[in-house]
């Protein structure tokens, strides 16, 4: 049988392709479990700096497999969430490369990523309300923080789709490409990210994601706990030396 998730490494970037094109890459439990393994490998491998999630066959992900849902199967892994990513994304930066539909859980996978690249034909949406369900894989919590409140609520309460160009205008999408170009543009963005210090990337993502919940009287101390090891690392000295010597740094990483 064809694997529901294809994993490929290009340099220091790991590409994870949702691979059920006949079902617009609707997520299954098998796909979710494979994603958990892939993301754990991404975090554990010191040679990797960035991950990309994309979809096969011109679509990103149409959400969960409804036929499986009717049979009592849900594509969620305990502690990791829908498609193995929405509850606990990896420590390393994650980019969504979106072509076609990113709907329901598929959109929630996108929202779990740190950066979004989308082709002009991409359509985002949380249509759960149209089916008597709710977007419980992070969409209801993340979308109002990524879009103006009233725009987010229209998406949530109508279940209607948001096109890529409008999403880019609203700041949800980092880079907009022609159809078929999302993965290449995501690889270019990944290269710009992966050129930086691996420890710096992990710490910076952690502070950015966690600091919104910190109290004012504790935030500097909590930031220091995360970032002090970065300043004390070999990479910090290497970055300074490379700058002074006008050369590219050679990172030690994890």
Q: Could you give the residue numbers annotated as active site?
A: 108, 128
Q: How far apart are CA 252 and CA 40, in angstroms?
A: 20
180: number of CA atoms within 13 Å, CB side?
Answer: 0
Task: Give residue 162's region: left, alpha or beta (phi > 0; psi -120 to 50).
Answer: beta
Size of the chain in residues: 254
84: number of CA atoms within 13 Å, CB side?
Answer: 21
Query: Exposure pattern of 193-207 as b/e (b: 16+ CB <10 Å)?
Result: bbebbbbbbbbbbeb
Query: What are the structure tokens assigned to 235, written together?
Result: 């990479």
Which residues, including other chains, have CB under 8 Å from residue 47's CB and lie 6 or more apart? 12, 253
Q: What is the dihedral of CA 67, 73, 79, 83, to 10 degrees?
A: -30
Q: How far apart are CA 114 and CA 191, in angstroms?
A: 15
């Amino acid at each position: 049988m064809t694997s529901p998730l294809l994993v490929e490494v290009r340099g220091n970037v790991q590409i994870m392709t949702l691979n059920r094109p006949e079902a617009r890459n609707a997520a299954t439990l098998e796909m979710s479990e494979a994603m958990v393994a892939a993301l754990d490998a991404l975090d554990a491998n010191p040679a990797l700096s960035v991950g990309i999630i994309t979809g096969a066959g011109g679509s990103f992900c149409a959400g969960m497999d409804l036929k499986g849902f009717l049979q009592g199967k849900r594509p969620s892994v305990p502690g990791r969430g829908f498609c193995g990513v929405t509850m606990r994304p990896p420590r390393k930066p994650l980019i969504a490369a979106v072509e076609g539909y990113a709907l329901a859980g598929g959109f929630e996978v996108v929202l779990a990523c740190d950066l979004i690249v989308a082709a002009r034909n991409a359509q985002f949406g949380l249509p759960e309300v149209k089916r008597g369900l709710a977007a419980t894989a992070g969409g209801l919590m993340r979308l109002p923080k990524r879009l103006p409140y009233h725009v987010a609520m229209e998406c949530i309460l109508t279940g209607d789709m948001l096109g890529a160009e409008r999403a880019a205008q609203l700041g949800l999408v980092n880079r907009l490409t022609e159809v078929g170009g999302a993965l290449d543009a995501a690889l270019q963005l990944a290269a710009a990210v992966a050129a930086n210090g691996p420890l710096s990337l992990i710490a910076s993502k952690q502070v950015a994601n966690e600091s919104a919940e910190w109290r004012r009287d504790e935030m500097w101390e909590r930031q220091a706990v995360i970032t002090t090891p970065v300043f004390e690392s070999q990479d910090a000295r290497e970055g300074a030396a490379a700058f002074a010597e006008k050369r590219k740094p050679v990172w030690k990483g994890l």
